[in-house]
Structure 1
Amino acid sequence: MTTGLDADDLENILQIDIVSDVVCPWCIVGFKQLEQAIENTGASAAIKWHPFELNPDMPQEGENLRAHIMRKYGTTAEQSQETRDRLTGLGAGLGFDFSFTDDMRMVNTFKAHQLIHWAGPEGKEHPLKMALFEAYFKDGKDVSDTETLADIAAGQGLDRNEAVRVLEDGRFADVVREEESFWRQNGIEGVPAVIFERRHMISGAQGAENYASIIRQLVDNEAA
């Protein structure tokens, strides 16, 4: 699997665009399933991440995660725990640790998406995205906080001071909003949304076998 390639390098490489949010547990599950499918098929793939906010109106202070899920989706505390247990099991099988806690909070992710956009030309989009997933779901960090985000960026070899400036001056705010709007206008209302070769969109975490089947079909079609 490859990330951040130039256009000239993409010949014979499967292009996969993923629309997601860093506080979406099914997004990291879906990616890990996709990653497994790519490895199992031996395909070469270029991954490009795109922004989506599950809660664009979430205030800076955030909201208790369980309370948020119960309010937004009408679930009970028992159903919420069942989902957490399921995700924890799925994650463990895919090599990703979910560490849910009672005080975990849902937060606004607009700054996180701006940071990811900035990291793209630096060749750090993918590792930063992975680090943000881990920071939120494993380490319980506030991925809406500027200083926390700057620390995460620095951990991936990016300039911490510049990361702070990027988030404080909002230089990429408009372009991120435009891209979010683009995906919504093209019918994406939930994530993850995985687009193969800019033509075939699959919604949700569909499992490694299903992803592998899609990849094989696309590779076979290209070879035909």
Structure 2
Amino acid sequence: MSETLFNIVQTNDRVAPTATLHVEVIADFVCPFCFLGKRRLDKALEAVEGPSDVSWYPFQLNPEIPAEGQPFDAYLGQRFGGAANIEPILEQLAAEGRADGVRFAWDKIRHVPNTLPMHQLMQHAAGRGKDQVALADDLMSAFFEEGRNIGERDVLVDIAGRHGIRGRDMRRALDNDLLRQSAVSREAQVRSSGLNTAPGFLINRRLLVVGAQPTDNLVNAFDRAMFGEGTDSLVSPALH
């Protein structure tokens, strides 16, 4: 795709409103706000009875993390000056998570991976027609709720296997330089568009929503993207 996401959003007045919902998710797998945003997206999509599809863009919040990852405590220390400084944030995230069906288990997390292999897995899954939404949820749940090191190949192979991806194919995908470069290039496209945080939700290539927005905000954004910006009329119950 030659045009950037920024170009797409900036020219959204030339894109005709449509009753089909397309959502492109920009997210990382060790980002708690991305997990919250993903679960809220799930709820928002349940309110839309018409056709919809969801795809994923790779985005690494911390691409500088070594390939082997790093201890969770060291990660917190580098980013926030230590676990004590971030304790109120973790408690708030835990409370928000419970409301959205997410059980953050901070005490189980020991290791923070470099997430490039996860993004390679997502691209491989998309190329095989697998459900990226379900796969992303399993990856995030494994990290945040189970404390698994999703940077380990055996863990990725196990998770991929639940989605019909054989271990041999998964390992080949992780060793595929073209797939790795594709993930890096797609992330660079996102960053060149001016988006330097996650999550983001590009809706029908008309509207970009940034952050773990409440479900109602996402539903309202769906309305604007599908039926035209500034739509104030009630939406047909056939769609919501």
TM-score (norm 1): 0.86
Q: Aligned pair 1:188/2:195, yes or no? A: yes
Partner of 1:8: none
Partner of 2:180: 173
Residues 151-166 of structure 1 mapped to structure 2, 5 A cutoff: 151-166=158-173
CA distance 1:75–1:118, shift in 2 (3 Å) = same
Partner of 2:115: 109
Q: Aligned pair 1:120/2:107, yes or no? A: no
Residues 201-212 of structure 1 mapped to structure 2, 5 A cutoff: 201-212=208-219
Aligned-pair distance for 1:205?
Answer: 0.7
Contact 1:66–1:102 (CA under 8 A) maintained in structure 2: no
Secondary structure of 1:140 counterpart: coil
Give identity over the alignment, percent. Answer: 26
Aligned-pair distance for 1:41?
Answer: 5.0
Secondary structure of 1:101 counterpart: helix
Contact 1:41–1:216 (CA under 8 A) maintained in structure 2: no
Secondary structure of 2:24 counterpart: strand
Q: Deviations over 1:171-194 (max 9, x none)?
A: 401111110110000011000011
Q: CA RMSD in A?
A: 2.2
Residues 7-86 of structure 1 mapped to structure 2, 5 A cutoff: 12-40=19-47, 42=49, 44-72=51-79, 74-75=80-81, 77-86=83-92
CA distance 1:102–1:147, shift in 2 (3 Å) = closer
Q: Aligned pair 1:198/2:199, yes or no? A: no
- Cα distance between partner residues in 2 of 1:20 and 1:57: 16
Aligned-pair distance for 1:93?
Answer: 1.2
Partner of 1:97: 103
Secondary structure of 1:116 counterpart: helix
Which segments of 5 or more consecutive residues in structure 2 lack a partner in the other structure? 1-17, 234-240
